[in-house]
Amino acid sequence: MKKILFLCIAFITILNASKPELTVNILPQKYFVEKIVKDKFEINVMVKPGSSPHNYEPKPSQMRSLVNSKAYFLVGDPFEQAWMDKFKQNAKNTLFIDTTKGIEKIEMEEHEHHDAPKIDTKHDEHDHEKHDHSGFDPHVWLDPLLVKTQAKNIYEAMVEIDSQNSDFYKTNYEEFIKELDALDENIKTILKPYKDKAFMVFHPSWGYFSKRYELEQISIEIEGKEPKPNELIELISEAKKHDIKIVFVAPQFSQKSAKTISKNINANVVEIDPLSDNWKESMLDTANQIANSYK
């Protein structure tokens, strides 16, 4: 009996190991791809839980998985561009798919400190030159309706890669589109009473979410850079002016400034993860947290 059980486990292990692979950048993309391919592929995620794309370096094992992948689904993060030449040089047989094709991106939001006194030193000038935050916001996956475009790009790529299962992918894709529409309507219902309300975030990941649901995102930093003491004073003043009730933090970034601000304005600090693997629940949780903070 034990021998039969061992053989069954070994057979299942061989089957799993023989699955073709796909690679994605971040965990939410894994959620999207799995909705369409189900269990037909193993999915390699480059940025693991708790890691940030801003300072990420792929491990040798992930590079091996990329080389073996039928496709790499890109999300338009600057990290991808920094590694793209190396990725393509090593993964010559991998199809690289930009899932954001057809999406009109918005500018990355940066908090402007209008009233704070300027610190005019060579060191300060060097810091601002080093941290150039211009460019487009890559966080398109935080808007369910933009994810519909990503899903379409994933679906079309899978049909190209595995045409014999095109009907399977089409069915799954259509079901996912229905799920995204339902999620959008659900979030709209939750947030409708709070149109034009503001929330504060450490890292400005929620620009597309804010635009879609007519909210205002006020960021504390850009790309991990903590505000200086005089800037922190201005942020506290701005938070009071907007009657901020909630300050969001993410596990990939510092919480020091957010906690200081929240203490001074009597707001709640709430952790939300824009890179959550449970993407749908994370989106609903964010909407509910914003709504509850104003009740």
Confidence of residue 18 (pLDDT cuts 50, 70, 90): confident
- Asked if residue 91 has pLDDT above 50, the reply is yes
pTM above 0.75, yes or no: yes
- State both tokens at 161: 């890669």
Which of 257, 272, 233, 215 is closest to 28 using CA atoms? 272
Which positions ≥6 away from 11 have C-beta within 8 Å? none
Q: Which residue has the higher pLDDT, 286 or 230?
A: 286
pLDDT given at position 224: 59
Confidence of residue 222 (pLDDT cuts 50, 70, 90): low
- State both tokens at 173: 């894709």
- Asked if residue 276 has pLDDT above 80, the reply is yes
- Asked if residue 139 has pLDDT above 90, the reply is yes
Confidence of residue 250 (pLDDT cuts 50, 70, 90): confident
pLDDT given at position 82: 84
Q: Which residue has the higher pLDDT, 56 or 92?
A: 92
Confidence of residue 117 (pLDDT cuts 50, 70, 90): very low
**To the nearest whole percent, how much of the chain has pLDDT over 90?**
60
From start to end of the chain, where are the E strands?
A: 21-24, 42-45, 69-74, 95-98, 198-201, 216-219, 246-249, 268-271
What is the radius of gyration, based on Cα positions, of the chain? 22
Q: Which residue has the higher pLDDT, 50 or 69?
A: 69
Q: Burial of 166 by CB count in 10 Å (0-12 exposed, 13-18 middle, 19+ buried)?
A: middle
Mean pLDDT of the chain: 85
203-226 in b/e burial notation, b at 16+ Cβ within 10 A? bbbbbbbbebbebebbbbbbbebe
pLDDT given at position 228: 86
pLDDT given at position 223: 57
Alpha helices in 91-226 (DSSP H): 122-130, 144-161, 166-191, 207-212
**How far is Cα 36 from Cα 163, in angstroms, rounded to an integer?**
14
